[in-house]
Amino acid sequence: MIICDGLTKRFGSITAIQDFSVEIPDGRIFGLLGPNGAGKTTTMRMLSCLIQPTSGKAMIDEYDIRHKEDAQRIRQMIGLLPEVPGLYETLGAYKNLDYYAQLFGIPKQKREQAIKKTLTNLELWDRRAEPVGGFSKGMKQKIAIARALVHDPKYIFLDEPTASLDPAASKIVRDYILQLKAQGDTIFINTHNLSEAERICDTVALVKNRVVRIGNPKELARGLFARTVSFTLDHVPATLLQEISSLEIASEARISGSQLIVNVRRPEEDNPLIITWLVNHKVSVQFVTEEEHSLEDVYLKLIEGGGH
């Protein structure tokens, strides 16, 4: 389990992240979303014991990131994908991974198996001997992901894991992340890719140098936006909008073409009432659909809109 309590990091007069508090249970995927400079990488670096917090604390299992001895133990059980792959370009993919696996003390035979498994999962095994300097950005990113995973860490920190990847490669990585979750690993992701976060994260935190909102992606949208239901009608009588607005549950209705759009609080209870009212007024309902608000809508409203 990862527990952050008031984690704060300042660089001189600049506050990178302030009062970051979160609990991430084991086996979950946690996403950190925010614009550039919001403190995402700094937070990940603190949790990876690369930099020390200015104040606050964080525990990974029973180890405190602020203590030097604990930091050694934490590093042993984490895998980090930094925002830039940072590979040794003259060496092959295999040697790059082998180097890190050795530093994590993995025995030779197990090392070979682990490297083969990760490179095969990321479809790079056939090119393991080629110097990675000649690889595309996406391939380098995949090797960097493999490097973070080669020692089978319990906690995985991924900074923009699908950046530079094409859609097919992104899917491979996403599926791999879900596979890691399924085997019980805890994954902490920094990302700008909101649809990806929405698809794979159990919990997301929107940050802009401090936590703006935290929760399940869908719950965040529901909490932030009223639920909007569209009723597609066979015809729209001229007085419909005026008459239906008298209903308390449909006070914020509008007409768009053949659609009656209503903001409702409890669709499960309100939709049947509206449909009954329409039928009673000789208007047939062809379709009923609920508009979904995406994480992107949440992000844009909270981060770009400056709302809290």
Partner 1 sequence: MRWRNAWIIMRKDLDEFKKQKLVIGSIIAMPIVLGVIMPLAIFVPLVSTTTATTVWDVPGLLETGSLPGNQSVLWTNQTLSDVSLSSKIIKHTVISHAHLSNCLVISCIINNSTVDHSTIEESNLTQTYLSNTTVTYSKGTGLDGSNILAVQSSLFFTKTKPSALSVVLPMMFNLILMIFIVVPATLPTIIATYSIVGEKNNRSLEPLLATPTTDGELLAGKIFSSFIPSMGSTYLAFVLGVGLLDVVLIPHVGYPPLPNVIWILAILLIAPAACLMSVLACVLVSSKVSDVRAAQQLGGFVVMPVVVLMLGVLSGLLLLSPFTVIVFAFIYSGIDLGLFYFARAVFNRESILTKWT
Chain contacts with partner 1 (rule: CB under 8 A): 11, 45, 48-52, 72, 75-76, 78, 80-82, 84-91, 95, 99-100, 102-105, 131, 144, 147-148
Closest approach, Cβ 90 to partner 1, in A, equals 4
Nearer to partner 1, 91 or 273 (CB): 91
3-state secondary structure of 45: helix
Please work out, in degrees rounded to the nearest 5, the angle formed at the alpha carbon of residue 113 by the alpha carbons of 109 and 118.
Answer: 145
Closest approach, Cβ 145 to partner 1, in A, equals 11
Contacts of 84 (CB under 8 A, 6+ apart): none
Closest approach, Cβ 92 to partner 1, in A, equals 10
Nearer to partner 1, 129 or 279 (CB): 129
Please work out, in degrees rounded to the nearest 5, the angle formed at the alpha carbon of residue 138 by the alpha carbons of 101 and 198.
Answer: 95
Nearer to partner 1, 10 or 293 (CB): 10
Q: Can you point out the beta strands (E) in the chain?
A: 2-11, 14-24, 29-33, 55-60, 63-64, 78-81, 155-159, 186-191, 203-207, 211-215, 227-233, 253-256, 259-264, 285-291
Nearer to partner 1, 88 or 287 (CB): 88
Cα 61 to Cα 74: distance, rounded to the nearest angstrom: 9
Q: Which long-range contacts (CB under 8 A, 24 or more apart) does 60-63 make?
A: 60/1, 60/2, 60/155, 61/1
Closest approach, Cβ 174 to partner 1, in A, equals 21
Nearer to partner 1, 52 or 195 (CB): 52
Closest approach, Cβ 84 to partner 1, in A, equals 4
Cα 70 to Cα 125: distance, rounded to the nearest angstrom: 35
Smallest CA-to-CA distance from 189 within 36, 96, 83 is with 83
Nearer to partner 1, 40 or 45 (CB): 45
Nearer to partner 1, 20 or 157 (CB): 157
Closest approach, Cβ 36 to partner 1, in A, equals 16
Smallest CA-to-CA distance from 29 within 173, 224, 163, 209 is with 173
Closest approach, Cβ 46 to partner 1, in A, equals 10
